[in-house]
Amino acid sequence: MKPSEPQTSSMKSRGGPARILNAFRYSLQGLGHALRHEAAFRQELLIVVPALVGLWFLPVSRAEQAILLISSLLVLIVELLNSAVEATVDRISTERHPLAGRAKDLGSAAVLLAVLQMLACWALIAGPLLLQAR
């Protein structure tokens, strides 16, 4: 980068209340895009939302509730980031390329790890309670 080149994008806003409102609006648009266009996000919502509703009925500590909540939301967060990577790769080119495949595979691996850690948290915290109830 040359010293005369700007350090930030001209697309970035300067700040203030308008920036906060715009960021919130863009975030809601992103969630809307995920709901409309990302089947994996919708499928994960079908698991996470009922689990989080059920969470409030589990006799666990606040700390355990926080762990279950955070681990569940992390799956959705990582899925959104994976979808962003996939959309960016597809925007650049739909041709098969090893680096494009690697980017998509790495995003998918991140989702898998997030799902596995969520399952581990739920199994360790809620599993014994569910087995006791039987």
For the chain, counts of helices (H) and of strands (E): 5, 0
Residue 104 half-sphere exposure, CB side, CA atoms within 13 Å? Answer: 15
The answer to whether 79 is a known catalytic residue is: yes
Structure tokens at 133: 């109830």
Residue 56 one-letter amino acid:
W
Dmax over CA atoms of the chain, in Å, equals 70
Catalytic residue among 5, 38, 44, 79: 79
As annotated, the active-site residues are 79
